[in-house]
Amino acid sequence: MTEDVKNALKQFILKEFLPEEDPEELTETTPLITGGVLDSIATLKLVMFIEERFGVTLQAHETDVEYLDTIAAIVNLVRSKKS
């Protein structure tokens, strides 16, 4: 399940926020918010995607940088919500 979550996130972020970027450049540890890839509205869209796609609900504090700054962090968040 971790691989699926990872791939879905990667596809979504590339398509929505990094048009024409080489997919190899986006790794599990690429900083998304602190690295300027996601602004506040993009973060909101990502949160809506996460909630819809993985059937979880994020609390206000879970939309913080520490939970969403990398694909690895988001995978952990989704996994903890699912279990």
Partner 1 sequence: MEAPGVLHGFFVDAAARCPEHAALVEPGQGSITYRELAALSDRLRDRLHGLGVRAGDRVGIYMRKSIDAVAALYGILKTGAAYVPVDPGAPAERNAYIMHNCAVKAVVIEKRFEEKFRHELGQLGTLPSLFVLEGAGGGTPMRRALELADAQHPVAEIGTAAPAPRDLAYILYTSGSTGKPKGVMLSHENAVSFVNWCSEIFRPQPSDRFSSHAPFHFDLSILDIHVSLKHGATLVIVAEDTGKEPQHLASLIAEQRISVWYSAPSILGLLAQYGNLGRHDYSALRLVLFAGEVFPVKFLRALCAQLPRPKYFNLYGPTETNVCTYYEVPTPVPEERTVPFPIGKTCSHLRCKVVDEQGREVAAGNEGELVVSGRGVMQGYWELPEQSARAFIGGDDGTRWYKTGDIVIEAPDGNYTYLGRRDRMVKRRGYRVELGEIEAGLYRHPNVKEAAVIAVPDEEAGIKVKAFLSCREGKHPSLIEMKRFCAEHLPLYMIPDRFSWHEALPKTSTDKINYQRLKEMD
By CB under 8 A, tell whether 63 contacts partner 1. yes
Amino acid at 35: G
Answer positive or negative: Cα dihedral of 18, 62, 55, 28: positive
Taking the complex as a whole, the smallest distance from the CB of residue 37 to partner 1 amounts, in Å, to 5
Q: CA-CA distances (angstroms) from residue 61 to 40, 57, 65, 76?
A: 14, 12, 9, 15
By CB under 8 A, tell whether 50 contacts partner 1. no
Among the residue ranges 1-9, 39-47, 69-77, the one whose residues contact partner 1 (CB under 8 A) = 39-47
Say if residue 23 is exposed, middle or buried (CB neighbours under 10 Å; 0-12, 13-18, 19+).
exposed
Site track for partner 1 across 6-25, x = CB under 8 A: ------------x-xxx--x
- Contacts with partner 1 by CB under 8 A lie at 18, 20-22, 25-26, 30-31, 34-37, 39-41, 43-44, 47-48, 60-61, 63-64
